[in-house]
Structure 1
Amino acid sequence: MSSQKIAVYSLSDLKNTTDDALPNYLTSLKFRQSHHLIDVRLALGYSAVVIAAITFYADWKLGWDKTKYGTFWAVLVYFVLNGALTFWIWGVERGKVFVGDIEHRDAGRNTISMASSVTKHTPIYNLTVAYTNPKGEEKRLELSSPFTRWFDADGFFIAKPFQQWLASEVPLIGQIDTKNKIGNPKANGTSEATAVVVEQKIDTQTPKKTTGREMAPPSTRARKGRKAADR
Protein backbone atom coordinates (compact mmCIF):
# COMPACT_ATOMS: atom_id res chain seq x y z
CA MET A 1 0.00 0.00 0.00
CA SER A 2 1.22 3.47 -0.84
CA SER A 3 1.95 5.70 2.15
CA GLN A 4 0.86 8.80 0.24
CA LYS A 5 -2.79 9.70 0.58
CA ILE A 6 -4.50 11.49 -2.31
CA ALA A 7 -7.90 13.04 -2.91
CA VAL A 8 -10.18 10.30 -4.21
CA TYR A 9 -12.25 12.82 -6.20
CA SER A 10 -9.26 14.25 -8.09
CA LEU A 11 -8.91 12.47 -11.43
CA SER A 12 -5.51 14.03 -12.06
CA ASP A 13 -4.16 12.74 -8.73
CA LEU A 14 -5.60 9.29 -9.36
CA LYS A 15 -4.11 9.15 -12.85
CA ASN A 16 -0.70 10.55 -11.90
CA THR A 17 -0.32 8.16 -8.98
CA THR A 18 -1.25 5.22 -11.18
CA ASP A 19 1.06 6.41 -13.95
CA ASP A 20 3.96 6.54 -11.47
CA ALA A 21 3.21 3.04 -10.20
CA LEU A 22 3.18 1.49 -13.67
CA PRO A 23 6.89 1.90 -14.57
CA ASN A 24 7.88 0.94 -11.02
CA TYR A 25 6.05 -2.34 -11.41
CA LEU A 26 7.42 -3.09 -14.88
CA THR A 27 11.02 -2.31 -13.96
CA SER A 28 10.66 -4.66 -10.98
CA LEU A 29 9.93 -7.37 -13.57
CA LYS A 30 13.23 -6.55 -15.34
CA PHE A 31 11.68 -4.42 -18.09
CA ARG A 32 14.21 -1.87 -19.36
CA GLN A 33 12.66 1.58 -19.61
CA SER A 34 13.66 3.90 -22.43
CA HIS A 35 13.99 7.55 -21.38
CA HIS A 36 14.23 8.89 -24.93
CA LEU A 37 10.83 10.60 -24.90
CA ILE A 38 11.33 12.42 -21.65
CA ASP A 39 14.92 13.34 -22.54
CA VAL A 40 13.75 15.10 -25.70
CA ARG A 41 10.96 16.85 -23.79
CA LEU A 42 13.37 18.10 -21.13
CA ALA A 43 15.88 19.23 -23.75
CA LEU A 44 13.26 21.30 -25.59
CA GLY A 45 11.84 22.77 -22.39
CA TYR A 46 15.16 23.70 -20.81
CA SER A 47 16.47 25.15 -24.07
CA ALA A 48 13.51 27.52 -24.24
CA VAL A 49 14.03 28.53 -20.59
CA VAL A 50 17.76 29.17 -21.13
CA ILE A 51 17.10 31.36 -24.18
CA ALA A 52 14.54 33.39 -22.26
CA ALA A 53 16.95 33.83 -19.33
CA ILE A 54 19.84 34.93 -21.57
CA THR A 55 17.62 37.39 -23.44
CA PHE A 56 16.42 38.94 -20.20
CA TYR A 57 19.95 39.24 -18.79
CA ALA A 58 21.30 40.81 -22.00
CA ASP A 59 18.48 43.34 -22.14
CA TRP A 60 18.98 44.21 -18.46
CA LYS A 61 22.75 44.69 -18.83
CA LEU A 62 23.04 46.20 -22.31
CA GLY A 63 19.71 47.89 -22.86
CA TRP A 64 17.04 47.59 -25.51
CA ASP A 65 18.85 49.43 -28.28
CA LYS A 66 21.82 47.08 -28.29
CA THR A 67 19.83 43.87 -27.92
CA LYS A 68 16.64 44.45 -29.91
CA TYR A 69 17.82 42.51 -32.99
CA GLY A 70 19.16 39.66 -30.88
CA THR A 71 15.93 39.68 -28.87
CA PHE A 72 13.93 39.31 -32.07
CA TRP A 73 15.77 36.12 -33.04
CA ALA A 74 15.72 34.84 -29.46
CA VAL A 75 11.95 35.27 -29.24
CA LEU A 76 11.55 33.55 -32.61
CA VAL A 77 13.65 30.56 -31.49
CA TYR A 78 11.79 30.50 -28.18
CA PHE A 79 8.42 30.13 -29.91
CA VAL A 80 9.82 27.50 -32.27
CA LEU A 81 11.09 25.46 -29.33
CA ASN A 82 7.78 25.76 -27.50
CA GLY A 83 5.93 24.74 -30.64
CA ALA A 84 8.19 21.73 -31.01
CA LEU A 85 7.64 20.88 -27.35
CA THR A 86 3.87 21.03 -27.75
CA PHE A 87 4.02 18.84 -30.83
CA TRP A 88 6.28 16.37 -29.04
CA ILE A 89 3.93 16.05 -26.06
CA TRP A 90 0.68 15.74 -28.01
CA GLY A 91 1.89 14.26 -31.31
CA VAL A 92 4.71 11.91 -30.30
CA GLU A 93 4.34 11.02 -26.63
CA ARG A 94 0.53 10.87 -26.74
CA GLY A 95 0.20 10.10 -23.06
CA LYS A 96 2.87 7.39 -23.00
CA VAL A 97 3.86 6.48 -19.46
CA PHE A 98 6.22 3.64 -20.31
CA VAL A 99 8.35 2.69 -23.29
CA GLY A 100 10.88 -0.10 -23.07
CA ASP A 101 11.73 -3.70 -23.76
CA ILE A 102 12.50 -6.99 -22.04
CA GLU A 103 14.54 -10.07 -22.81
CA HIS A 104 12.81 -13.17 -21.43
CA ARG A 105 13.78 -16.81 -21.79
CA ASP A 106 10.25 -17.82 -22.79
CA ALA A 107 8.98 -14.72 -24.61
CA GLY A 108 12.25 -13.60 -26.22
CA ARG A 109 12.92 -9.90 -26.73
CA ASN A 110 9.76 -7.79 -26.76
CA THR A 111 9.33 -4.03 -27.00
CA ILE A 112 6.39 -2.45 -25.22
CA SER A 113 4.77 0.96 -24.89
CA MET A 114 1.88 2.05 -22.69
CA ALA A 115 -0.21 5.21 -22.90
CA SER A 116 -2.81 6.21 -20.33
CA SER A 117 -5.77 8.58 -20.43
CA VAL A 118 -8.92 9.52 -18.55
CA THR A 119 -12.21 11.04 -19.59
CA LYS A 120 -13.46 14.12 -17.77
CA HIS A 121 -15.73 13.30 -14.80
CA THR A 122 -15.25 9.55 -15.37
CA PRO A 123 -13.07 7.72 -12.80
CA ILE A 124 -11.92 5.11 -15.30
CA TYR A 125 -8.27 4.43 -16.11
CA ASN A 126 -7.78 3.81 -19.82
CA LEU A 127 -4.59 2.12 -20.94
CA THR A 128 -3.39 1.47 -24.48
CA VAL A 129 -0.75 -1.25 -24.68
CA ALA A 130 1.29 -2.08 -27.77
CA TYR A 131 4.07 -4.65 -27.80
CA THR A 132 6.09 -6.37 -30.50
CA ASN A 133 7.41 -9.93 -30.32
CA PRO A 134 10.76 -11.14 -31.71
CA LYS A 135 9.07 -11.92 -35.06
CA GLY A 136 8.06 -8.30 -35.50
CA GLU A 137 4.37 -8.97 -34.89
CA GLU A 138 2.64 -6.18 -33.00
CA LYS A 139 -0.26 -6.67 -30.62
CA ARG A 140 -2.39 -3.79 -29.42
CA LEU A 141 -4.73 -3.81 -26.43
CA GLU A 142 -7.26 -1.29 -25.13
CA LEU A 143 -7.81 -1.72 -21.39
CA SER A 144 -10.07 0.08 -18.93
CA SER A 145 -10.66 -0.30 -15.22
CA PRO A 146 -12.11 1.87 -12.42
CA PHE A 147 -9.64 3.49 -10.05
CA THR A 148 -11.52 1.95 -7.13
CA ARG A 149 -9.95 -1.35 -8.09
CA TRP A 150 -6.59 -0.28 -6.63
CA PHE A 151 -7.46 2.77 -4.49
CA ASP A 152 -9.19 2.34 -1.15
CA ALA A 153 -11.85 4.68 0.24
CA ASP A 154 -9.23 6.74 2.08
CA GLY A 155 -7.22 7.50 -1.07
CA PHE A 156 -4.34 5.08 -0.58
CA PHE A 157 -2.94 3.21 -3.57
CA ILE A 158 -2.84 -0.59 -3.22
CA ALA A 159 -0.30 -2.15 -5.56
CA LYS A 160 -1.43 -5.80 -5.52
CA PRO A 161 -4.78 -5.46 -7.40
CA PHE A 162 -3.17 -3.07 -9.89
CA GLN A 163 -0.41 -5.57 -10.63
CA GLN A 164 -2.94 -8.41 -10.89
CA TRP A 165 -4.96 -6.38 -13.39
CA LEU A 166 -1.94 -5.81 -15.64
CA ALA A 167 -0.65 -9.38 -15.35
CA SER A 168 -4.09 -10.77 -16.20
CA GLU A 169 -4.96 -8.43 -19.07
CA VAL A 170 -1.57 -8.15 -20.83
CA PRO A 171 -0.33 -11.58 -21.96
CA LEU A 172 3.31 -10.47 -22.11
CA ILE A 173 3.26 -9.31 -18.48
CA GLY A 174 1.27 -12.36 -17.37
CA GLN A 175 3.84 -14.64 -18.98
CA ILE A 176 6.56 -13.04 -16.87
CA ASP A 177 4.67 -12.35 -13.64
CA THR A 178 2.70 -15.58 -13.23
CA LYS A 179 2.16 -15.04 -9.49
CA ASN A 180 -0.07 -12.01 -10.10
CA LYS A 181 -1.96 -13.47 -13.02
CA ILE A 182 -5.55 -14.13 -11.94
CA GLY A 183 -6.44 -17.75 -12.58
CA ASN A 184 -3.09 -18.97 -11.33
CA PRO A 185 -3.56 -20.63 -7.91
CA LYS A 186 -0.45 -18.84 -6.61
CA ALA A 187 -2.04 -15.46 -7.29
CA ASN A 188 -4.45 -15.91 -4.38
CA GLY A 189 -1.83 -17.42 -2.09
CA THR A 190 -3.74 -20.76 -1.87
CA SER A 191 -3.27 -23.79 -4.06
CA GLU A 192 -6.08 -26.03 -5.29
CA ALA A 193 -4.77 -28.90 -3.15
CA THR A 194 -5.01 -26.76 -0.02
CA ALA A 195 -8.59 -25.82 -0.90
CA VAL A 196 -9.54 -29.50 -1.21
CA VAL A 197 -8.01 -30.34 2.18
CA VAL A 198 -9.89 -27.48 3.83
CA GLU A 199 -13.16 -28.64 2.28
CA GLN A 200 -12.60 -32.18 3.54
CA LYS A 201 -11.94 -30.93 7.07
CA ILE A 202 -15.16 -28.96 7.02
CA ASP A 203 -17.14 -32.02 5.89
CA THR A 204 -15.69 -34.26 8.62
CA GLN A 205 -16.46 -31.70 11.30
CA THR A 206 -20.11 -31.26 10.27
CA PRO A 207 -22.37 -32.93 12.90
CA LYS A 208 -24.72 -35.63 11.63
CA LYS A 209 -28.43 -35.22 12.03
CA THR A 210 -30.15 -37.78 14.22
CA THR A 211 -33.63 -39.23 13.78
CA GLY A 212 -36.07 -40.82 16.18
CA ARG A 213 -35.76 -44.18 14.39
CA GLU A 214 -32.13 -44.71 15.39
CA MET A 215 -31.63 -47.73 17.68
CA ALA A 216 -30.87 -47.13 21.34
CA PRO A 217 -27.63 -48.47 22.88
CA PRO A 218 -27.66 -52.16 23.98
CA SER A 219 -27.66 -51.30 27.71
CA THR A 220 -30.83 -49.26 27.27
CA ARG A 221 -32.59 -52.14 25.48
CA ALA A 222 -31.62 -54.58 28.26
CA ARG A 223 -33.06 -52.34 30.97
CA LYS A 224 -36.35 -52.01 29.07
CA GLY A 225 -36.53 -55.83 28.75
CA ARG A 226 -36.14 -56.41 32.48
CA LYS A 227 -38.89 -53.90 33.32
CA ALA A 228 -41.28 -55.67 30.97
CA ALA A 229 -40.53 -59.05 32.61
CA ASP A 230 -41.19 -57.68 36.08
CA ARG A 231 -44.61 -56.50 35.02
Structure 2
Amino acid sequence: MSKPINVYSTPDLRQTLDEALPSAFERLGYAQSFKLIDTKLIIGYSIALVAGISFLLDKKLKFEESLLYQKILVALYALLSGMFWYFNKYVEKGVKYNGSSADKAISVVTKMEKYSYDYQVTINDSKGRSTTSKLLANTVFNEAGYLQSDKLFKWLEERLDALVKKAN
Protein backbone atom coordinates (compact mmCIF):
# COMPACT_ATOMS: atom_id res chain seq x y z
CA MET A 1 0.00 0.00 0.00
CA SER A 2 1.23 3.50 -0.75
CA LYS A 3 1.74 6.28 1.74
CA PRO A 4 -1.26 8.46 2.57
CA ILE A 5 -1.64 11.83 0.86
CA ASN A 6 -3.70 14.92 1.45
CA VAL A 7 -6.73 14.24 -0.75
CA TYR A 8 -7.51 17.96 -0.83
CA SER A 9 -4.23 18.78 -2.56
CA THR A 10 -4.50 18.69 -6.34
CA PRO A 11 -0.72 18.38 -6.92
CA ASP A 12 -0.52 15.43 -4.51
CA LEU A 13 -3.46 13.71 -6.20
CA ARG A 14 -2.01 14.21 -9.67
CA GLN A 15 1.48 13.06 -8.70
CA THR A 16 0.24 9.95 -6.90
CA LEU A 17 -2.02 8.95 -9.77
CA ASP A 18 0.70 9.61 -12.37
CA GLU A 19 3.15 7.49 -10.37
CA ALA A 20 0.62 4.65 -10.15
CA LEU A 21 0.14 4.39 -13.94
CA PRO A 22 3.19 2.18 -14.71
CA SER A 23 2.26 -0.49 -12.18
CA ALA A 24 -1.39 -0.49 -13.25
CA PHE A 25 -0.51 -0.86 -16.93
CA GLU A 26 2.04 -3.53 -16.08
CA ARG A 27 -0.78 -5.54 -14.52
CA LEU A 28 -2.69 -5.02 -17.79
CA GLY A 29 0.15 -6.58 -19.76
CA TYR A 30 1.98 -3.48 -20.98
CA ALA A 31 5.72 -2.90 -20.79
CA GLN A 32 6.76 0.72 -20.27
CA SER A 33 8.73 2.44 -23.01
CA PHE A 34 11.28 5.09 -22.05
CA LYS A 35 11.99 6.56 -25.52
CA LEU A 36 10.63 10.02 -24.69
CA ILE A 37 12.46 10.18 -21.37
CA ASP A 38 15.70 8.95 -22.94
CA THR A 39 15.49 11.55 -25.71
CA LYS A 40 14.86 14.28 -23.17
CA LEU A 41 17.84 13.14 -21.12
CA ILE A 42 20.13 13.06 -24.15
CA ILE A 43 19.20 16.63 -25.09
CA GLY A 44 19.57 17.80 -21.48
CA TYR A 45 22.96 16.17 -21.01
CA SER A 46 24.10 17.63 -24.34
CA ILE A 47 23.20 21.10 -23.08
CA ALA A 48 25.19 20.48 -19.89
CA LEU A 49 28.15 19.17 -21.90
CA VAL A 50 28.22 22.29 -24.09
CA ALA A 51 28.09 24.50 -21.00
CA GLY A 52 30.93 22.49 -19.40
CA ILE A 53 33.11 22.78 -22.50
CA SER A 54 32.47 26.51 -22.57
CA PHE A 55 33.51 26.80 -18.95
CA LEU A 56 36.72 24.82 -19.52
CA LEU A 57 37.66 26.90 -22.58
CA ASP A 58 37.08 30.05 -20.58
CA LYS A 59 39.43 28.79 -17.86
CA LYS A 60 42.18 27.40 -20.13
CA LEU A 61 42.36 29.96 -22.95
CA LYS A 62 42.58 33.71 -23.14
CA PHE A 63 39.48 35.63 -24.20
CA GLU A 64 40.73 36.36 -27.71
CA GLU A 65 41.79 32.74 -28.27
CA SER A 66 38.47 31.29 -27.18
CA LEU A 67 36.15 33.85 -28.78
CA LEU A 68 35.40 31.87 -31.96
CA TYR A 69 34.88 28.65 -29.97
CA GLN A 70 32.62 30.45 -27.50
CA LYS A 71 30.46 31.82 -30.31
CA ILE A 72 30.06 28.32 -31.73
CA LEU A 73 29.27 26.90 -28.30
CA VAL A 74 26.70 29.63 -27.57
CA ALA A 75 25.00 28.93 -30.91
CA LEU A 76 25.01 25.20 -30.16
CA TYR A 77 23.66 25.85 -26.66
CA ALA A 78 20.84 27.98 -28.08
CA LEU A 79 20.03 25.32 -30.69
CA LEU A 80 19.91 22.52 -28.10
CA SER A 81 17.82 24.65 -25.73
CA GLY A 82 15.38 25.33 -28.56
CA MET A 83 15.21 21.61 -29.30
CA PHE A 84 14.54 20.90 -25.63
CA TRP A 85 11.73 23.46 -25.51
CA TYR A 86 10.19 22.12 -28.75
CA PHE A 87 10.41 18.55 -27.48
CA ASN A 88 8.66 19.42 -24.21
CA LYS A 89 5.98 21.55 -25.84
CA TYR A 90 5.11 19.62 -29.00
CA VAL A 91 6.50 16.10 -28.85
CA GLU A 92 6.07 15.06 -25.23
CA LYS A 93 2.87 17.11 -24.72
CA GLY A 94 2.10 15.90 -21.20
CA VAL A 95 2.58 12.20 -21.90
CA LYS A 96 2.89 10.42 -18.56
CA TYR A 97 3.13 6.85 -19.79
CA ASN A 98 4.17 5.05 -22.98
CA GLY A 99 3.84 1.31 -23.19
CA SER A 100 3.34 -1.61 -25.50
CA SER A 101 1.94 -5.09 -25.33
CA ALA A 102 2.25 -7.91 -27.81
CA ASP A 103 -0.20 -6.39 -30.28
CA LYS A 104 -0.43 -2.64 -29.60
CA ALA A 105 1.24 0.43 -28.21
CA ILE A 106 -0.40 3.15 -26.13
CA SER A 107 0.46 6.54 -24.73
CA VAL A 108 -1.33 8.12 -21.80
CA VAL A 109 -1.73 11.87 -21.36
CA THR A 110 -3.04 13.11 -18.04
CA LYS A 111 -4.22 16.49 -16.90
CA MET A 112 -5.68 17.86 -13.71
CA GLU A 113 -6.94 21.40 -13.36
CA LYS A 114 -6.01 23.44 -10.32
CA TYR A 115 -8.56 23.13 -7.50
CA SER A 116 -10.31 20.24 -9.26
CA TYR A 117 -10.61 16.58 -8.38
CA ASP A 118 -11.16 15.49 -11.98
CA TYR A 119 -8.20 13.50 -13.28
CA GLN A 120 -8.50 13.66 -17.06
CA VAL A 121 -6.93 10.69 -18.82
CA THR A 122 -6.48 10.40 -22.59
CA ILE A 123 -5.34 7.05 -23.92
CA ASN A 124 -4.02 7.00 -27.50
CA ASP A 125 -3.16 3.84 -29.37
CA SER A 126 -0.79 3.26 -32.25
CA LYS A 127 -3.63 3.28 -34.78
CA GLY A 128 -4.64 6.86 -34.01
CA ARG A 129 -7.67 6.07 -31.86
CA SER A 130 -8.09 7.74 -28.51
CA THR A 131 -10.44 7.86 -25.57
CA THR A 132 -10.69 10.62 -23.00
CA SER A 133 -12.28 10.10 -19.61
CA LYS A 134 -12.44 11.83 -16.27
CA LEU A 135 -11.75 10.01 -13.05
CA LEU A 136 -13.00 11.57 -9.85
CA ALA A 137 -9.98 11.26 -7.60
CA ASN A 138 -12.06 10.54 -4.52
CA THR A 139 -13.26 7.29 -6.11
CA VAL A 140 -9.79 5.70 -6.00
CA PHE A 141 -8.62 7.13 -2.66
CA ASN A 142 -10.03 6.12 0.69
CA GLU A 143 -10.83 8.49 3.56
CA ALA A 144 -7.35 8.16 5.05
CA GLY A 145 -5.70 9.23 1.77
CA TYR A 146 -4.44 5.85 0.56
CA LEU A 147 -4.63 5.03 -3.13
CA GLN A 148 -6.71 1.93 -3.81
CA SER A 149 -4.74 0.41 -6.66
CA ASP A 150 -7.37 -2.20 -7.52
CA LYS A 151 -9.99 0.47 -8.21
CA LEU A 152 -7.56 2.41 -10.40
CA PHE A 153 -6.64 -0.82 -12.22
CA LYS A 154 -10.31 -1.64 -12.91
CA TRP A 155 -11.00 1.90 -14.11
CA LEU A 156 -8.05 1.82 -16.52
CA GLU A 157 -9.07 -1.64 -17.71
CA GLU A 158 -12.54 -0.26 -18.54
CA ARG A 159 -10.95 2.64 -20.47
CA LEU A 160 -8.81 0.21 -22.51
CA ASP A 161 -11.90 -1.91 -23.23
CA ALA A 162 -13.69 1.22 -24.46
CA LEU A 163 -10.73 1.94 -26.74
CA VAL A 164 -10.90 -1.58 -28.15
CA LYS A 165 -14.67 -1.25 -28.70
CA LYS A 166 -14.02 1.95 -30.68
CA ALA A 167 -11.90 -0.14 -33.03
CA ASN A 168 -14.77 -2.52 -33.77
The TM-score, its normalising length taken from structure 1, stands at 0.64
Paired with 1:114 and 1:14, the residues of 2 have a C-alpha distance of: 17
Could you give the per-residue CA deviations for residues 77-136 of structure 1, whole angstroms, max 9, x where no partner exists?
A: 112111111111120111112222212xxxxx122111111122222111111224xxx5
Residue 57 (structure 1) aligns with? 56
Contact 2:28–2:157 (Cα < 8 Å) also in 1: no
Contact 2:131–2:163 (Cα < 8 Å) also in 1: no
Which segments of 5 or more consecutive residues in structure 2 lack a partner in the other structure? none
Paired with 1:87 and 1:16, the residues of 2 have a C-alpha distance of: 24
Paired with 2:98 and 2:162, the residues of 1 have a C-alpha distance of: 14
Which segments of 5 or more consecutive residues in structure 1 lack a partner in the other structure? 104-108, 176-231
Using the TM superposition, give the Cα deviation of residue 8 of structure 1 relative to its aligned residue in structure 2, in angstroms.
Answer: 3.1
Q: How many residues align?
A: 165
Residue 131 (structure 1) aligns with? 125
Could you give the per-residue CA deviations for residues 132-163 of structure 1, whole angstroms, max 9, x where no partner exists?
A: 4xxx5x43101111222222344332212111
2:155 pairs with 145, 149, 165, which one?
165
- Structure 1 position 141 matched with structure 2 position 139: no
The residue type paired with residue 109 of structure 2 is A
Paired with 1:76 and 1:5, the residues of 2 have a C-alpha distance of: 47
| Distance change (3 Å), C-alpha of 1:101 and 1:77 | same
Residue 104 (structure 2) aligns with? 110
| Distance change (3 Å), C-alpha of 1:64 and 1:52 | same
- Structure 1 position 120 matched with structure 2 position 119: no
Could you give the per-residue CA deviations for residues 53-79 of structure 1, whole angstroms, max 9, x where no partner exists?
A: 221122123243322221122121112
Paired with 1:68 and 1:42, the residues of 2 have a C-alpha distance of: 29
> Which one has more relative contact order, counting CA pairs under 8 Å at least 6 apart?
2
Contact 2:129–2:163 (Cα < 8 Å) also in 1: no
| Distance change (3 Å), C-alpha of 1:10 and 1:73 | farther
The residue type paired with residue 27 of structure 2 is S
Residue aligned with 1:170, SS = helix
Residue aligned with 1:122, SS = coil
The TM-score, its normalising length taken from structure 2, stands at 0.85
Using the TM superposition, give the Cα deviation of residue 173 of structure 1 relative to its aligned residue in structure 2, in angstroms.
Answer: 8.7
What percent identity do the matched residue pairs reach?
28
Is 62-71 or 13-22 further displaced after alignment? 62-71
Residue aligned with 1:39, SS = helix
Residue 156 (structure 1) aligns with? 146
Residue 26 (structure 2) aligns with? 27
Which of the pair has more CA radius of gyration?
1
1:212-223 equivalent positions in 2, closer than 5 A: none
RMSD in angstroms over aligned alpha carbons? Answer: 2.3
Contact 2:32–2:97 (Cα < 8 Å) also in 1: yes
Contact 1:167–1:174 (Cα < 8 Å) also in 2: no
